Amino acid sequence: MTVEGNPAAKILVVDDESSMRELLSLLLTKEGYDVQCAENGRRAIEILQKGQFELVVTDIRMQPVNGLEVLKQCKAISPRTIVIMISAFASTELAVEAMNEGAYDYFPKPFNKDEILSVIAHALQQRDTEEAPREDREGPLYFGCLIGESPPMHRVYELIQRVAKTTSNVLLTGESGTGKELVAKAIHRQSARHDQPFIAVNCGGVPENLIESELFGYRKGAFTGAASNRKGLVEAAQGGTLFLDEIGELSQVLQVKLLRLAQEKTIRMIGDTADIDVDVRIISATNRDLEQMVVEKTFREDLYYRLNVLPIRIPALRERPGDIVLLAQYFLSKFAREFGKDIRKISSYALDILCNYEFPGNVRELEHIIERGVAMESSRIILPDSFTISVYKRKQQDRGPAADLVEIPAQGFDLDRYLADAEKRMLLQALQQTNGAKLKAAQLLGITFRSFRYRLLKYGLATEDELRNSDG
């Protein structure tokens, strides 16, 4: 691993265990950092009073001055110094207290060497970015609304730029929650129609008996309650873009009328005999298999080919795992501002869980998870307990048959308790299968060793002393 951005940063390592000091010193020096060590908290404070450090890595449990006091003194002496806490005693309470005092992150021992190096490098890069003069730059935001730097998203960006230059109809496909409407807006904003209306219609969200009048409008007296002429959404999009979401939900009758719009560029209002010429670009979206619907005769083949001139498939979030952290941080900043909370970070534990989750609801689900986490969190960092997700929907190369779903009784049941019991059973089963080898058990469950330790403590399946004395 090479350190980018600040290879000569000064780092202070504080630990009363000589082996840990030597390990961290060796690791960090090899990365090009200027490393100094302190054998206890008192010595660390003396060193901090004499010189400036960009970052401090300190143990928590030390005598006579502990790591939390080192953290407080460090922030008082040099508020800009980054402090990362480490401890053999992993507990949520310690993490919360450390984060509330201004710690950047918290690692239980034993930690993953590559992971802590990555966190240190990222922390220093973030510090450099915040201190450097701000320049106008797009960063990870593309076209003003899409977020992602993964190869699948870059392919989407390229397609957006290509199709935006044309006037042909576009069909967006992909699972629910992937951001199809955002892609439609990006195409519109990049097109020559960007200064004209963008009208979005959820074809599955409007009752069937109202969708026709909503789309095409009606004349006064066309039906009971039609007291005046009303322009439809298609005509409202004149000169611009008409976005039809959930296009597969349209009835056969509406499909015929939409085909006429796609072919002839004309519509007829309900109760009228004259056609109206319209100039709209149609962008459709669906999470259904339209080709299969054509085979099943539930979607018109001629309409399908009219709409599917330029297809774009939006990848599911599990297909772009490199964007999970980026999106999570974006939503964290968004909801922290909205709720007026000083929460700037998601703990490493919590990120482990997010990065090993399948996200059946895609980006929309991630957004809701972070929103709830910010709303429920009382500390300055998002911890795993603020999430409500199933750890069993994790990414696997070869998944076995899905377990049968529990029958929900008529009176309802406690989902959180059910999931917690299921998680405990899986932890115990993994330990049983590996004869108590915790590292192997974590690998069996597809989670990091640090995350496995955290869950053992959370459910009382192991004590801090047992974990400290464990060899994994």
Q: For 119-130, what is the mean pLDDT?
A: 75
240 and 294 within one domain: yes
181 and 119 within one domain: no
272 and 246 within one domain: yes
Instruction: Report the CATH number at residue 107.
Output: 3.40.50.2300
349 and 439 within one domain: no
Instruction: Report the CATH number at residue 255.
Output: 3.40.50.300
306 and 242 within one domain: yes
| Predicted structure pTM score | 0.61
- Is residue 137 a part of any domain in this protein? no
Q: For 267-283, what is the mean pLDDT?
A: 91
Q: Are β-strands 170-173 and 146-147 bridged in parallel, bridged antiparallel, or unpaired? A: unpaired
- Give the domain extent around 280: 151-317
What's the CA gap between 197 and 223, in Å, rounded?
28
Whole-number pLDDT of residue 260? 92
Whole-number pLDDT of residue 108? 77
Going by pLDDT thresholds of 50, 70 and 90, the confidence category of residue 394 is very low
Rg (CA), the chain: 28
Contacts of 48 (CB under 8 A, 6+ apart): 12, 56, 70, 73, 74, 77, 78, 81
Beta carbons of 173 and 311 less than 8 angstroms apart: yes
- Is residue 101 a part of any domain in this protein? yes
Whole-number pLDDT of residue 91? 60
Q: What is the pLDDT of residues 16-67, one digit of tens each?
A: 989 899 999 999 999 889 999 999 999 999 999 888 899 999 998 888 888 9
243 and 324 within one domain: no
What's the CA gap between 254 and 246, in Å, rounded?
13
DSSP code per residue over 363-417 = HHHHHHHHHHHHHH--SSEE-GGG----TTS---SS--PPPPPPPPPTT---HHH
User: Is 469 a residue whose pLDDT tops 70?
Assistant: no
Q: How many domains does the chain have?
A: 4
Whole-number pLDDT of residue 134? 38
305 and 175 within one domain: yes
- Is residue 222 a part of any domain in this protein? yes
- Is residue 3 a part of any domain in this protein? no
368 and 234 within one domain: no
Q: For 122-131, what is the mean pLDDT?
A: 69
- Is residue 402 a part of any domain in this protein? no
Domain boundary among 99, 131, 163: 131
**Which among 321, 320, 316, 313 has a CA at the least distance from the CA of 364?**
316
User: Is 430 a residue whose pLDDT tops 70?
Assistant: yes
312 and 171 within one domain: yes
108 is written with which tokens?
């239980």
354 and 283 within one domain: no
Domain boundary among 102, 131, 160: 131
Report in angstroms the alpha-carbon separations of 315 from 180, 239, 323, 363, 393. Answer: 10, 30, 11, 10, 18
- Is residue 170 a part of any domain in this protein? yes
Domain boundary among 261, 282, 317: 317
Q: For 445-458, what is the mean pLDDT?
A: 80
Q: For 192-207, what is the mean pLDDT?
A: 88
Mean pLDDT of the chain: 83
User: Is 79 a residue whose pLDDT tops 70?
Assistant: yes
**Beta strand residue intervals within 250-304, DSSP E:** 266-267, 276-277, 281-286
Whole-number pLDDT of residue 301? 95
Whole-number pLDDT of residue 303? 95
324 and 310 within one domain: no
Q: For 205-212, what is the mean pLDDT?
A: 80
88 and 73 within one domain: yes
Instruction: Report the CATH number at residue 331.
Output: 1.10.8.60
- Is residue 193 a part of any domain in this protein? yes
User: Is 395 a residue whose pLDDT tops 60?
Assistant: no
User: Is 119 a residue whose pLDDT tops 50?
Assistant: yes
- Is residue 102 a part of any domain in this protein? yes
